[in-house]
Each structure stands twice: as C-alpha cells, then as structure tokens.
A and B are shown apart, each in its own frame.
Chain A
Amino acid sequence: MEFKDYYQTLGVPREASADDIRKAFRRLARKYHPDVSKEADAEARMKEVNEAYAVLSDAEKRAAYDQLGRGYRPGEEFRPPPDWDAGFEFSHHDFQGADYSDFFAELFGRMGTRAHGEDHYAKVLLDVEDAFLGATRQIALRAPKVDARGRVALETRTLNVKIPAGVREGQLIRLAGQGAAGAGKPGDLLLEVHFKPHARYRVQGRDLHVDLPVAPWEAALGAVLRVPVPGGALNVRIPAGAQSGRVLRVRGKGIPAEPPGDLLLAIRVVVPPADSAQARALYEQMARDMAFDPRAGA
C-alpha cells in the first residue's frame, strides 16, 4: 500500500490552519467540479481531493494521520504499525468505504462497525447493447468486515448479477440480502445502472438516439435503409425530401422496457467527394440542369 500525502493533494503546508485547508479544498472542488471542469481526469482528482479533505478537515483524523505519516514520502510503501490508532477517539463515521482508497480504508476503515445490516449501493457500467439483450456481470464489491480479533479489514466479494433486458439509464436494481452483513439480517444491495459512452448510440431515458448518415439521393428520393441497432438491424423508410437534422421516430424500437422507448434517427446527409472525373461530371451536370439555390430566401 502506498503512502498518500494528503497535504500535497490539497497543495497546503503541513502546518496549514483549518481555514487554509478549507480554502484550498474549495478552490480544488471548484476546479474539478464534474459538471463544469474541463480537466480530463476531473472525477479521479475530485475523489483524491475529497479523501484528503475528509482526513485533514477532521481534527482527530488529522492528528492521527500526522503522527503516523512522520517520515513517509508519497508513493512509499506503507504499513501502519499494529494498533496505531489506540488512544485516538474517532467520533465521525460519515464516510462510505467504496469512495476512498485502500490507504484511507486501512487507516480509518476500522472505525464504526455496524450493529446491523445496511443497504449498500454500487454503480455498474453497462454497454448499450446490454439493455437490449440482457447481460450477466461480475461485480467486485469491497466492504469492511470485522475479523476474529475485532479489527476491520476490507473484504472483496464477487457477485454474478443478471441484468434484465429493458434496463434504463439510472435505474436501480435491488438485490435482496446482498448488502452489508451485520449482527442482524443483511441489508440489500442497490445497483445503479449507467451506460458506457458509445460511438453510435446514445440513450436518453428509454429512447435510443442514433445518427443516420444518408447519401444525397437517398434523402432526395426516399429509400428503405437497413439500420444496425443493438442486437440486430431494422428496415427504416426515409421519406423523400429528407434533410439533415430531421429526426425520424420509430415507435417502440428503443430500450425494450415496459412500455418500450422509441428509436430516434437523426438524418445527416453526407455529400460524396468529387474525387473522380465521373463524379465531377455528375456534379457539374447537376449544377447546370438543376435550378437549386440553397440560399434562396436567406
């Protein structure tokens, strides 16, 4: 396990005041805010910043960390001495183990064992195709567990989860009895479904949005096109005179939920290049023979 320098993460000296630490945290929280940050690794950086602040903003945790961290360099292999936390009273148990690093969990994860089972939750990333076909996913969950000596260590559990077809972005799947074990009945596990970004497909609610490139003659004359969709392909009729930006709605062909969503095809007319004598001749003939001014009325 690597030692983490929380002061370096927040960019403050070791003797920084609580006020300085709060200011540094807020500056970084704004910089890496997931909704506005332009930084590529904003989410990962925000996690590190949150973890550092969780320790340094809490006087008890900060004192323990300072005592322990003396002499360690960031990235250095780190082993906490046994029972290092004796004599420290941690009164806040307001963290979720899954959000923090192994380093944090090793130091502070032994606090606050639960009296009874709690509901836990985890995010699961799926491919868009999985919403159409259903899927089975292996999910590794880390949760604190008390050993025979009463110490808490992180335990990894692997679950095979069946994802039903028709699942939607943001949907919660409840797995009874798979949450945190406690003295009583175990809690449930809530899985929150999200889709990985896809080059062609975009999911919005139950609807599936797909970009549909068409040739100028397909758009002008109308056509029946074979459109690949997750798990197969559909024949779709393009009306004559279709223009770029027009959206065709195919009812009931989106996410196969109950009721199913729609498939939305955004037409994009692609102009073939005039890269041969024949292609040039065709364009020149159109320019001569077709009375067409795309800027008429502009």
Chain B
Amino acid sequence: MSDDELITLEELTVVCAVSAEWVRERVAEGLLPERFDTLAVRRVRRMRSLERDFDAAPELAALVADLLEELDALRAHLR
C-alpha cells in the first residue's frame, strides 16, 4: 500500500463521526488496523453503527465486520 492511499486519524474521525479515543482503543485491542485506508473507513463505519445500534461489544462488532468483509470479497469474486 503506498502512502498516498492512507488517510490520517483526524480524517478518519471526521468522515466516520467517531472520536480519536474510540479509534485508538480499537487499534490497541487489534480490532482496527494501525494504518488507515479506504477499507478502514468502511470498517470503522460498520463497527460504529453495530456498536451504536445494537449495543454490540467492540469485539462482536469487529467480528461482524470481518464477516461482512469476507462477504464483500466473495461478492466481488462472483461478479
């Protein structure tokens, strides 16, 4: 991944409406990658809405995000 595809923590918090603290906690727990790209934007939005809408624990939201990412890959492969 080249650097111009990466986005900053600050940009991630703006486009996903989460706090920097929220992101840092999940990076520390290994639920989010340490470097952010456009796939991370999608992952953060999914985890945020799962946690907010269903009171999901961060680990459960990350697990669902993993499954959805696998679903994305399979759907792309099917096309």
The chain A residues found within 8 Å of chain B, CB to CB, are: 25-26, 29-30, 35, 96, 118-121, 168-172, 174, 190, 192, 202, 204, 209, 258-259
Contacts and interface: CB of A to CB of B under 8 A. Distances in A.
B11 A172 contact: yes
Indicate the member of A30, A35, A119 with the most B CB atoms within 10 Å: A35
Given A26-B54, A119-B14, A190-B14, A204 B68 contact: no
27 contacts: A25-B53, A26-B53, A26-B54, A29-B49, A29-B54, A30-B54, A118-B14, A119-B10, A119-B11, A119-B14, A121-B14, A121-B15, A168-B5, A169-B38, A170-B39, A171-B5, A171-B38, A172-B15, A174-B11, A190-B11, A190-B14, A190-B15, A192-B41, A202-B79, A204-B76, A209-B79, A258-B4
Q: Which 5 A-B pairs have the closest CB atoms?
A: A170-B38, A29-B53, A119-B14, A121-B15, A35-B68
Interface string B1-42: 010110100110011010000000000000000000011011
A202 B76 CA distance: 10
B63 interface: no
B57 interface: no
Interface of B: 2, 4-5, 7, 10-11, 14-15, 17, 38-39, 41-42, 46, 49, 53-54, 68, 71, 76, 79
A236 B12 CA distance: 40
A89 B18 CA distance: 24
A192 B76 CA distance: 21
A168 B4 CA distance: 11
A121 B15 CA distance: 6
B17 A170 contact: no
A168 B37 CA distance: 12
Nearest to B71: A35
Contacts of B7: 172
Nearest to B64: A35
A168 B38 CA distance: 10
Given A35-B46, A35-B71, A119-B10, A192 B53 contact: no
A187 B69 CA distance: 33
A168 B41 CA distance: 14
A28 to B, nearest CB: 9
A191 to B, nearest CB: 10
Nearest to B2: A259
